[in-house]
Structure 1
């Protein structure tokens, strides 16, 4: 089978298409014939060595497809079942093996490419809005990079929770995308200072929570827009990692909360993964949440996909099609 391999950490050019033996599912595992694999910033962090991986490794965490074979002891799935997964290894491949409790069933009527595209970002948005900072009706939240894949999901789920959403984006085209997803106000940070605009939009009160996937260029300024006892949710660093801060800053800015969550701590339990996935798939099926696939690229163009994602030139999800 074809798969992407990384033998040395580095730029997109280290992503090489290779031929590998077809993996055999072990006890409790199943083999998925992938219909699509999602491309995410965490893949870039692993490729560059920012999140070190044993070398060589085969990248990719999320995908969807059909069960091709099952190992001994698998009771939940059979060949032909449609499934998706958010935290496998070696998803950039034609086939992927993983434990049965790390996959979820994809309901009839939901496209497998859409399921693959929704897994990491959709479950992340669910965890952020329902658990990390559980939005309450009437809350006001600020969402950075609101036109990206995760940002669009966050806007929609925040609205489902009853929030007023202030979004930041870099271009007018992305502003239109954020508005289409339900954002109540959009700030072009390339044109306006988001701190001043957020204060104006909230009458000086500030927001209950900031959802920040951008990192270095937005993080410290975000504390300026939080209201007393507000929550800073840092869940990415597309502009670079943030510098350390003193806990005294949280005191000085109004007894603030700071958290740096990982999705995988919010889906570690199989029942929790299943429950979040059921919500996500139901909302995608009935239209309460929608997802834009920016483009689909063949597996051999994984390097180009990484370049596109890192450039922040996309609006929506990038998929690799094996």
Structure 2
């Protein structure tokens, strides 16, 4: 978009007085829900190459819980304590730094941030800001980036399933799981989804699963074998020790296991790590041997989305595809449940519980 076009667009939009004070969530040190504190701050002006955004909605991810507990390695590496969690927001451009000529004040945008997203006003790099599709609300838009980027990377950079491939998706009604289901169906795959509670079956079916296994009432691996007797081309697993061995064992030859989390190692209530359970689960976690993988012709792939923020080639390609598919209606944003930002502790409790469907979103 040219600077002239952006300037012309800006001239047509009324601009509210710039706020001078904002509010953000601050975690001073690792702990439970009481570590989610609030702090007022002077709203900064954007620097060169930056964009200032008045935030309308904030996506909540399970990774934010791990950050709060002090177990998220890249949070320690990039920020330390205190830290403001959050990877994704939607909002309206408030101001532009020097050199940013392809956006205008008042533009509706989605932005990603390497932490710092739980805030009423965000300043981030221009390359982390993308146009919000007009047919997507602010609330829904805030729930898109992390889960869809995770799903896109897992499918299109790591797994590369061919049309007709049979794939198994754990947690198929969750934010990432539901995004995996949609993108896999778009790629022409057959999808077997797994859910852990009966009330999630309908949601997984609605997302496009060809088969849904409810492991709360069915034998997971007996059903998985019944629906793919020869094994799966790809299995997507964020559970950790509870299912990793079984997932690997149900791959077909040349099959791939994609790992992007370890949720079952974490507590479902209380807000604090159970260190004894973590230790036991760490010991029980499968160690995949390169020799065995070569002999059996199966692969294990893994990644952490926070380490992709310097790969603009990947982010640009992913956001381009996701934005186009959302605009065209080929995929839908995850269903969202909203909370006032003041209720961030309740949002964390709910996402930890494993009972939620889709995405949780904070409203500043």
* Aligned partner of 1:283 among 321, 325, 343: 325
After superposition, where does 1:21-36 map in structure 2 within 5 Å? Answer: 21-36=42-57
Counterparts of 2:148 and 2:249, CA distance in 1: 28
Task: Tell whether the 8 Å contact from 1:104 to 1:274 is kept in structure 2 after alignment.
Answer: no
- 2:337 corresponds to: 295
5+ long unaligned stretches in structure 1: none
Query: Does residue 154 in structure 1 map to residue 204 in structure 2?
Result: no
Query: Does residue 20 in structure 1 map to residue 45 in structure 2?
Result: no
Counterparts of 1:252 and 1:277, CA distance in 2: 34
5+ long unaligned stretches in structure 2: 1-21, 266-280
Counterparts of 2:295 and 2:348, CA distance in 1: 37
Task: Tell whether the 8 Å contact from 2:64 to 2:85 is kept in structure 1 after alignment.
Answer: yes
Superposed displacement of residue 194, structure 1: 1.8
Task: Tell whether the 8 Å contact from 2:144 to 2:334 is kept in structure 1 after alignment.
Answer: no
Counterparts of 1:134 and 1:235, CA distance in 2: 16
Counterparts of 1:249 and 1:213, CA distance in 2: 24
Query: Does residue 258 in structure 1 map to residue 300 in structure 2?
Result: yes
Query: Does residue 104 in structure 1 map to residue 135 in structure 2?
Result: no
Give the 3-state SS of the residue equivalent to 1:303 in structure 2: helix
After superposition, where does 1:36-115 map in structure 2 within 5 Å? Answer: 36-52=57-73, 53=76, 54-115=80-141
Give the 3-state SS of the residue equivalent to 2:42 in structure 1: coil
> CA-atom RMSD, angstroms?
1.9
- Equivalences, count: 321
1:112-147 Cα distance to aligned partner (Å, 9 max, x none): 222211111011111212221012111000000001
Query: Given the two structures, how large is their TM-score scaled by the length of structure 1?
Result: 0.94
Counterparts of 1:245 and 1:292, CA distance in 2: 33
Superposed displacement of residue 260, structure 1: 1.0
Superposed displacement of residue 271, structure 1: 4.2
- 1:217 corresponds to: 242
Query: Does residue 231 in structure 1 map to residue 256 in structure 2?
Result: yes
- 2:5 corresponds to: none
Give the 3-state SS of the residue equivalent to 1:131 in structure 2: helix
Distance 1:292 1:278, change over 3 A: same
Query: Given the two structures, how large is their TM-score scaled by the length of structure 2?
Result: 0.83
Give the 3-state SS of the residue equivalent to 1:76 in structure 2: coil
Using the TM superposition, name which of 264-273 and 129-138 deviates more.
Answer: 264-273
- 2:273 corresponds to: none
Task: Tell whether the 8 Å contact from 1:35 to 1:113 is kept in structure 2 after alignment.
Answer: yes
Superposed displacement of residue 90, structure 1: 1.3
Give the 3-state SS of the residue equivalent to 1:296 in structure 2: strand
1:162-181 Cα distance to aligned partner (Å, 9 max, x none): 11101110122211111111
Which structure shows the higher helix fraction? 2
After superposition, where does 1:263-278 map in structure 2 within 5 Å? Answer: 263-265=305-307, 268-278=310-320
Bigger radius of gyration among the two:
2
